[in-house]
Structure 1
């Protein structure tokens, strides 16, 4: 059985309001043994301690290969010191990952609501049952319009990947020697939508 866990960790915030990434990791250790873990709202420089949660998670999950996709990458307290603040996704796999792709999702201008850039992280995994395409996302919370635009982009990406899987390009060398894309696909993450909502129905159409 292939086990995938997805969790929006909210930068390590627990239900009691305390921010402690170690508690999140301890909970994962108790929860189950998984093949893949998709984590949303991983941060570097946004919490009070400013810790690099991308590096912390990678260090605390031995036996897994971690991949990150940064959606927000901004200057921290001052531009001159070069410090950055980053926010995004991570995916961990215990199976070989043949390819990792990072996709920027649409961010339509909508000045009346808060919003931020969004991204999708797609991995082609050599799973025990064969090649598998796993994508992790964190869609817009405050705007249905933006969420729907992101759903449409995810549909386009799935169509494109399916065509690559069924009609692979001519083999090449170096960066042109791309590994095969997988036809079977899993989409995981925090979709910020209700079951039966228009964007949910469109995602499943």
Structure 2
């Protein structure tokens, strides 16, 4: 679940890149003052990030509970059909068109369940993106503030750095300042219309 949750944090990478550009990114900048941050850590350890993660886990559990009856019915029919087929010879199976009809219906149900599961996954991702919208501008302000105070020329994510001293990592400072400005944000489940979800696939 957490891997799914943090997989949708890509907008922050765009934010970071925009911040680097606003400072005046150039090849020569690396010879000047460079700061690094760990965006995943900021979102994972900040109060608002933990709040979003907690709410997404609850919503994910709700989605799982909604899918379980359909999944259980498909599994039960699959096991029953397999048991019946295994007890019959090929000739006997050919004389039972009802078994072929059940198999086709099972295939349709399984395909429908998979489609529903993908739509619910899209809903969870959309819910996270919506929850992050009010957080990103505040985080951008925090990062810009730290950059200005440290008179830095470049801010990049630690994942793009081979080595950096702890003294140039502003992640902890960003977490503390973000906590002072926002600790919670609405995390409401987004419903994706089936037709819209099918068009995106």
Greater CA radius of gyration, 1 or 2?
A: 2
More helix by share: 2
Structure with the bigger RCO (C-alpha within 8 Å, sep 6+) is 2
More strand by share: 1
* Length-normalised TM-score, structure 1: 0.24
* Length-normalised TM-score, structure 2: 0.24
